[in-house]
Amino acid sequence: MKIDINKIKELRNITNISIIECKKALIVTKGDINKAIDYIRKYAKIESIKKSKNKTKEGLILDYITKDFGILLEINCQTDFVAKSSQIIKFGKNILTYVFKHQQVNISILRKIFNQERINLIGILKENIYINRLGYIQGKFIGKYIHHSKRIGVIIRSNIDNDLLMKQISMHIAMLQPDYISEKNIPENIINHEYDLQKSIALKNNKSKIIIKKIIEGRVKKFINNITLYNQKFLLDNNKTVFHFLNENNMKIFEFICFELGSNIIKN
C-alpha cells in the first residue's frame, strides 16, 4: 500500500518517532492517522501522545470582549510579515465590530459580506487572505487572554467579574490547552477508547489481574487529568490544581474557546 508522504510527515510531527516506524503504522492502519497513533501507543510503548497543533499557516487571532459577549476571530494569510500589517489587523477589527453590532456569527455569511474588502486587501498586500473561523460566548462574565504574537487566544465565561483571575485561567488554557473543563464533560466514548487502549497495553505485562487493573485505572486517570482543565496543575502554581485555585476564589468556568493558528478548541 502506497502511503502519502505528507501523512508520514504529519504522524512523525505528532509522535516524534522515525519515518520508517510512522510509515509502518500507516500501512498497518491503512492510512488512518488516528488509528496509527493508537497502533504506535500500543507497540512502540509511547504512553501518551497529544496531537500537535502547530500548523504552518500564518495569520492572527483577534478578539472583541464585553462583560457579556466575547468573540475570537482567526484570519489566515501566507506570511508572518502580512499577519503583522496594520491593514489586516484593521480588516479583522472591522469584522469583529460588525459581528458585535449585528450579532451575526455565521462565518459563511460573514465571508460573503466581507469578500470584496478581502479581495481589495489581497490586491494591496499581494497575498491570499482567508477568514478562517469565528467563535463566540454569550453570558456573564467574559474574560480573555491573547498572546502578544496573536497566534493564540482564549475567551472564557465565568461566574464572577474579575478580569485578573479570568486572564490567569485563560493564560493557563492557552499554554496547557485542555480539551474539556472537567471529567463529566468528556464524552463516554473517549473514556472507553482510552480504557480499551490502556487495557491492551497493560495486558502485555506479565502481572496479576489486580496489578493490571490498577495500572489501567492509573493511566486512564492520568489521561483524564491531562485533558481536563479542572484536573490540570495550575500554570501559575504547580502545587495546586486549577480546581483548587478556582475553589479558593469562589470561581467556576462554564465554557471556553481557545484558538491557535490552524487548530480549534471550543469546550463547555
- Separation CA 233–CA 244 (nearest Å): 9
38 shares its domain with 67: no
132 shares its domain with 256: yes
Residue 199 lies in a domain: no
9 shares its domain with 87: no
| Long-range contacts formed by 188-194: CB under 8 A, 24+ apart | 191/220, 191/224, 194/220, 194/223
Show Cβ contacts of residue 172 under 8 Å, excluding neighbours closer than 6 positions: 229, 232, 234, 235, 236, 242
113 shares its domain with 85: yes
pTM, two decimal places: 0.78
Domain hosting residue 141, numbered range:
58-181+242-267
186 to 18, 64, 229: CA distances (angstroms): 32, 29, 11
HSE-up of residue 94 (Cα within 13 Å, Cβ side): 15
69 shares its domain with 116: yes
Chain segment 120-142, per-residue pLDDT in tens: 999 999 888 999 999 999 998 99
Residue 227 lies in a domain: no
Chain segment 24-58, per-residue pLDDT in tens: 889 999 888 888 888 887 776 555 454 433 344 68
34 shares its domain with 62: no
